[in-house]
Structure 1
Amino acid sequence: MSVKDFIKKSVLENFSPYNVPQMAAALLAAVLLGALIYWVYQRFYAGVLFSRSFAMTLVGMSVLTCMVTLAISSNVVISLGMVGALSIVRFRTAVKDPLDLLYLFWAITAGITTGAGMYLLAASASAVMIGALALLSRWQTAGRIYVAVLHYQGEKPGDEIVRALGRNRYAVKSKTLRGEAVEMAVEVCCRDDVRDVTDRLQEIEGVEDVTMIQYNGEYHG
């Protein structure tokens, strides 16, 4: 068989009516998995502002990746064209939250596996991902992280502050001295109610004010 005959056969097979149900099933599976990823992202989102547009992008990413996989696997001509077209695409949108990359790759791999007809693999991997996210999210919320900023006079309140934190894990991040005035920033993992911790710190003699700032442990530039 010559190259010309091979390409012609590939084009004819691509438009075969027997492939339509298979393509429809793959696209439907990609939509369902994309919707599942959307729900998981919304359920376990721990940031300040939920981005609905990014969540919708996850659904579209699954469907489009599935479409590309179907095109590449069913037609050699389109596959060569896709390789050339995608090689010149450059995505310059910065992803600020590293966890968003996880959801992006999840959506892409879901589209690839459904496009390849590996529905069991896609469903199994999604179940494992949901279980891992649920477990890690539950472990992470065992204690909320706060940064306590305290202003006090002298050195004596410093020891009282350590005792007031009790069983909560803490780490002194900074300590600024201005004569007798002291400003101290402490990272606290509050297993107790944050209001109880704040009240204990405020009751220490010499402490002028206490500010508790919730902190997720990440810096975004």
Structure 2
Amino acid sequence: MSVRDFIKNSVLNADSYSQVDIGRIALSLITALILGILIYLVYRKFYAGVVYSKSFAVTLIGMCVLTCMVTLAISTNIVISLGMVGALSIVRFRTAVKDPLDLFYLFWSITGGITAGAGMYILTMVASIIVIIMLAIFYARPSRGHVYVAVIHYEGTENGDEIIRAFGKNKHFIKSRTMRGDTTEMAVEVYCRDKNLAFEERIRDIPKVKDITLIQYNGEYNG
């Protein structure tokens, strides 16, 4: 059968979707649901950001099931597939993804739904196992230290060098320095390999230092 004849038969037999096995539909949707729940649990386990979004985690489950449903629909008839492509092409998602790893989970959910809808259950299961192993090896390793942002307020400008020396051997970088009248605000990023924050006491004992605030930074640090 030529491509032309295949397209003609697909257009003429627009009711071919009724021939889809109900058992295959149920199995695909259940597989997508199980995979979505698995992605939800993995996301909650390995999340290391600042604010955990439960709505985004639940979206991963729905995305997997809905993608499976779309794949099942477009795999039955070329007319439905063309109409689905045209309908989905006008959809615009404007929600910003702040963490690049969140984008990874979204693609995992979408591709998992596609493979489940296509009946590739072994591929879905094996790929998910590989992804979980990858996350466990490369992302869930224990942190070797902590990164803080120290916000220090002090009077005058002559104590700045003494404050910098108080950090000792801890790696530190001056992020900003703001002067308001007689008061100077300095933000310093400091890396600590352990929970020893002795530099905080040394800075607080420096004359004319009003206060020091430590904010833990949960992002990536290279060094």
What TM bracket, shorter-length normalisation?
A: 0.7 to 0.9
1:132 aligns with 2:147: no
**Structure 2: distance between partners of 1:148 and 1:105:** 37
State whether structure 2 residue 158 is matched by structure 1 residue 189: no
Residues 168 and 192 in structure 1, CA contact (< 8 A), matched pair in contact too: no
Cα shift at 1:89: 1.8
Q: Which runs of 5+ in 1 are unaligned?
A: none
Matches within 5 A, 1:68-147: 68-139=70-141, 141-147=143-149
User: Residues 134 and 165 of structure 1: is their aligned pair in 2 closer, same or farther, counting only changes over 3 Å?
Assistant: farther
| Residue type of the alignment partner of 1:126 | S
- Shift of the 217–47 alpha-carbon distance from structure 1 to 2, 3 Å rule, reads closer
Matched position secondary structure for 2:50: coil
Partners of 2:209 and 2:137 in 1: CA distance: 39
Range 125-134 or range 63-72, more displaced? 125-134
| Pairing partner for 2:15 from 7, 11, 16 | 11
Deviations 1:129-164 (A, max 9, x none): 223333443457332221101234567755554454
SS at 1:209 equivalent: strand
Identity of aligned residues (%): 57
Task: Name the CA shift for 1:194/1:127 in 2 (closer, same or farther; >3 Å).
Answer: farther
Show the counterpart of 2:60.
58
Distance 1:112 1:152, change over 3 A: same
Instruction: Point out where structure 2 has 5 or more consecutive residues left out of the alignment.
Output: none
Following the alignment from structure 1 to structure 2, what is the Cα–Cα distance between the partners of residues 138 and 204? 39
Tell me the matched-pair count. Answer: 216
Report how far residue 69 of structure 1 moved.
0.8
Q: Give, in angstroms, the shift of residue 185 of structure 1.
A: 1.3
Cα distance in 2, alignment partners of residues 38 and 182 from structure 1: 46
Task: Please state which structure has a larger fraction of its residues in helix.
Answer: 1
Closer, same or farther: CA 88–174 of 1 in aligned 2, 3 Å:
closer
Q: Is the 8 A contact 2:10 2:77 kept in 1?
A: no
Q: Which moved more, 1:159-168 or 1:88-97?
A: 159-168
Residues 60-112 of structure 1 show CA distances to partners (whole Å, capped at 9, x for unaligned) of 10001011111111222221221121122222333333332222111111101
Is the 1:34–1:107 Cα contact (8 Å) retained in structure 2?
A: yes
TM-score, normalized by length of structure 2?
A: 0.79
